[in-house]
Structure 1
Amino acid sequence: MSTSPTAPDPAVTVQNKPIESKPVESKSAENRPVESKLAESKSAESKPVESKPSLVELPARPQHQDDRVVPRSRRKTKAIAAACLAVGLVVGGIGGYALVSRTVGAAELPFWGPKTSQPAAPDGPAGGTIESAAATASESVIVLRATGPGGSSVEGSGMVIGADGLILTNNHVVEVAVKGAGTISATTPTGQTAAATIVARDPAADIAVVRASGLSGLVPVRFAKSDDLRVGQTVLAIGAPFALTSTVTSGIVSALRRPVRAGSAGGAETVMSAIQTDAALNPGNSGGPLVNLAGEIVGINSAIYTPPVPAGTVAKAEPSGIGIGFAIPIDQAKRIADELVRSGTSTQAVLGASASDTSSGTVRIEEVLPGGPADAAGLRTGDVVTRFGNELIGGANALLAAVRSRPAGDSVQLTLGDKRVITVVLGAKVTRAGV
């Protein structure tokens, strides 16, 4: 890894230095817009693999600088510090249900959950039931199997967004097929199977769109607005955990705008402002829908928290969910998917500053990119950010997740520690990934 200083990335980055934080108690893992498509129709025991899945450990006192705490390279200005929950991505291996080999950085839990002024609501749309929602959404859920070099394979889920075969999923479900002569297959709930190809993908957002050819009777999903979700609202997760197709689990929205970080060795790291749910998620659920009681999609199931393996022991089974699962909000995913389908690229909002955590649980601006959005708004080195819009910011990754959840060009108010309020117009960074 390079150790030389580099210019700050035009996004929210975090100074790669020891994190001063309070101790955290832990017991430790057709090219048209998507909207036009919708208008047309209203990872158990595994067989041996070369790499073992990496589990997550939450250190009580992350005081040293290493790759468990700092998931990117050891460069001074481009690393993302550990200010959010690190998790495992819920994909499974074919046959033995093995989790695809992924390196997930360790992190501390935030001192508090992201606050929301929205009132809690115990249920979703009036008149909806778990049974009716499952029946509505399940017919649009696809099982995806991707293979790559050396026989490596991943199984996950996806959802139909176009009757011509467009399917929305996580990037980490299909990325193994990008290298070498990889393949992807898609299987419908009725048992039809066809080859699929990647249309476009955004690794940083963990979003991909694939197209399956030759499938008939596809029913596109219906989207809700994830911004309308309430804590306590009933939701369903649908997918193929451990290759058990058309599995439905239910739970509630446990939290909103939870900063979550996950990544893979040699791959892009994802930092998301996630929907947290206690609906059971397990390897194979990745890319499948999180659904409200109207059978509408509110999120893409993507990750689970997995406790660490105790020192001196070896994991003998696939890590599974413990009631702490995370989904990418569909408002964000749908916007990115639409861009990917239309242009093959996506835009990511950027702030144009680097930041670090402080011992008091706040975020200090370490460097401002000259001429960037933060500079234009008057943000300066040493400023402390306490709110991003209406969200309390309890860590540098929470700020990064909040920025990435917004579209480029959004105007957002930042509240600073000295009570100043400044307005930032978020910049744009174009993402183009190979397919």
Structure 2
Amino acid sequence: MRLRSRFGYPTLLAILASLTLIIAACSTGTSTSDDASDVTGNSETPAAVSDDQDVQSTAAQATDDEDDAVIDDDAANDDEAADDAELDIDVSTDDAEEIDEERPADEPSDVELAVEKVRPAVVFLSVQVQSTGAFGMPEEQEGVGSGVIFDEGGHILTNNHVIEGASTINVVLPDGRSYEGNVVGRSPDRDLAIVDIDTDDELPVAELGVSGDLRIGQSVVAIGNALGLPGGPTVTTGVVSALGRTIQAGMGQPPMESLVQTDAAINPGNSGGPLINLNGEVIGINTARIQQAEGIGFAVSVDTARNFVQQVVDQEPQPYIGISGLDISPAIAQQQGLPVDSGVLIIEVSPGTPAEESGVQPGDILRSMNGVEIETVQELQSELENYEPGDEVTLTLNRDGSETEITLTLGESPIVQ
């Protein structure tokens, strides 16, 4: 592509002089790329240089007569330049043209395309909960939340806390269709639930991605029915702020592990909605936010959600140890005075689980399982996928600075029907 630029007379002379000096430096072996002053800082730069002048290393020995001839030649060239100061300049614009061809100004952005792909499958959940009011009188309360349809059979992923205790669930799609929902399985420990709608209608479906491939700083989009406002699901954007987070959702509730942290706004009503990547794939289920902080929200990783789906919908039992843990970093190890700076710190052992029955204790640090090094909760979950309930495994633990091994038989991850 050719661009035409208009230069004034002094600018034209400076450009020609600079080009000539660069040629001269190259012919004499002088470096021009490492020392910019050779080109731009020479106070002795001639006012102009003839087009046909040969620049040699012996140019300094030219006679006064020759110099006069060169100056006269240059003056003639200067007159020609003044008459026509337009230059044709070749500029490489391949990259710009490719960008223009890839995305015209009116073409949707990656965020818009991702939202268009997933938003039709994001549903509004209106939940009726029976509770006891004043003087022991029963009363009905209403809650709202979100969910995402993930298969053609009408199964919806959402949070356990959205539907827990519900007497009725009303499911509304963005296109206005409404159905009655039924809980087919829930996991309080993972704050996940699956709601089913019984219909032969064709339904929009969102694709479940992979959270194990997420990168900190990656762009994400949260979709949900914030505050239950009319008009369909709300969209907010942000990035993956951190991975593998463990938080305590509330008093008396088990810690939630392997969460995706994001700064995409997660407001009341967003719970149960999807966190998606720019390919339009679900990579998390929005679950919580820190009320005292700005821009700190969490989503259950889609890998955790997929295991739950396999267990409930596909009827595939998932192995279970019965511990909640926290990834150890050097900073946490120093702050807590831990004997090692990597591994999974066990912060809770659930009653009646294989972990409790085998003698695993809170405060133990899991270092490996069957000889495979474990440094994060995510690695533990990934390693468990290689086993089935009933398999025997050996855990290597650091307890009070000493290594110990405990053998246990894996149980089946609990779900509530």
Shorter-chain TM-score: which interval? 0.5 to 0.7
Cα distance in 2 between the residues matched to 1:354 and 1:273: 9
Q: Secondary structure of the equivalent of 1:131? A: helix
> Superposed, which structure 2 residues align to 1:291-302 within 5 Å?
291-302=276-287
Q: Which residue of 2 aligns with 1:326?
A: 298
Any idea what SS the aligned residue of 1:431 has? coil
Task: Give the number of the structure whose residues are more often helix, by fraction.
Answer: 2
Mapped pair 1:360 → 2:360? no
Matched, 1:235 2:220: yes
Q: 1:365 to 1:174 in 2, by over 3 A?
A: closer
| Residue in structure 1 matched with residue 272 of structure 2 by the alignment | 287
Equivalent residue in structure 2 for 1:349, among 315, 320, 325? 320
Deviation at 1:374, TM superposition (A): 9.1
Matching residue within 246, 251, 255 for 2:242: 255
Which AA in structure 2 matches 1:251? G
Q: Number of residue pairs matched?
A: 280
1:428 aligns with 2:401: no
Distance 1:366 1:269 in 2: 8
Q: Is the 8 A contact 1:354 1:367 kept in 2?
A: no
Partner-residue secondary structure (3-state), 1:335: helix
For 1:385, the equivalent position in structure 2 comes to 365
1:158 maps to 2:147: yes
Deviations 1:367-417 (A, max 9, x none): 9999956998xx987985275677757xxxxx7x97678646387975748
Match of 2:128 in 1: 147
Greater RCO (CA < 8 Å, at least 6 residues apart):
1
Structure 2 unaligned segments of length 5 or more: list them: 1-101, 104-108, 131-138, 327-332, 340-344
The 1:293–1:432 alpha-carbon spacing in structure 2 relative to 1, beyond 3 Å, is closer
Match of 2:202 among 217, 220, 232: 217
CA distance in 2, matches of 1:249, 1:366: 34
Q: 1:205 to 1:260 in 2, by over 3 A?
A: same
TM-score where L is the length of structure 2: 0.57
Q: Which has the higher strand share?
A: 2
Does residue 306 in structure 1 map to residue 291 in structure 2? yes
Q: TM-score, normalised by structure 1?
A: 0.54
> Equivalences for 1:10-159 in 2 at 5 Å?
129-149=110-130, 150-159=139-148
Q: Does 1:276 align with 2:253?
A: no
Shift of the 263–230 alpha-carbon distance from structure 1 to 2, 3 Å rule, reads same
Alignment of structure 1 residues 372-411 onto 2, 5 Å? 385=365, 407=384, 409=387
Whether contact under 8 Å (2:123, 2:172) holds in the other structure is: yes
Distance 1:165 1:254, change over 3 A: same
CA–CA separation in structure 1 for the residues paired with 2:321 and 2:352? 13
CA contact (8 A) 2:157 2:192 kept: yes
Kindly provide the amino acid, as one letter, of the partner of residue 283 in structure 1: P
Gap runs ≥5 in structure 1: 1-125, 308-320, 394-398
* Structure 2 CA distance for aligned equivalents of residues 382 and 167 of structure 1: 35
Q: 1:338 aligned to 2:338?
A: no
What's the counterpart of residue 6 of structure 2?
none
How large is the RMSD of aligned CA atoms in angstroms?
4.2
Q: Could you report, residue by residue, the CA deviation over 1:335-360 in whole angstroms, capped at 9, with x for unpaired residues?
A: 112211234x96462167999x9941
* 1:147 counterpart letter in structure 2: Q
Tell me the residue number matched to 1:117. none
* Paired amino acid for 2:145: G
Show CA shifts across 1:51-105 (max 9, x none).
Answer: xxxxxxxxxxxxxxxxxxxxxxxxxxxxxxxxxxxxxxxxxxxxxxxxxxxxxxx
Tell me how far apart the structure 2 counterparts of residues 257 and 134 of structure 1 sit (CA, whole Å): 25
CA distance in 1, matches of 2:357, 2:182: 42
In 2, the alpha carbon distance for the partners of 1:198 and 1:353 equals 25
Q: Is the 8 A contact 1:273 1:402 kept in 2?
A: no
Task: Tell me, in whole angstroms, the C-alpha distance in 2 between the residues paired with 1:202 and 1:302.
Answer: 13
Structure 1 residues 414 and 222: CA distance shift in structure 2, 3 A: farther
In structure 2, the partner of 1:197 is: 182
Contact kept? 1:152, 1:176, Cα under 8 Å: no
Residue 420 (structure 1) shift = 5.5
1-structure distance, mates of 2:290, 2:309: 26
SS at match of 1:152: strand
After superposition, the Cα gap between the structure-2 partners of 1:405 and 1:299, relative to the gap in structure 1 and judged at 3 Å, is farther
Q: 1:421 to 1:186 in 2, by over 3 A?
A: same
Alpha-carbon deviation of 1:280? Answer: 0.5
Aligned to 2:161: 172
Give the C-alpha shift of residue 361 in structure 1. Answer: 5.0
- Asked if structure 2 preserves the Cα contact closer than 8 Å seen for 1:276 and 1:326, the reply is yes
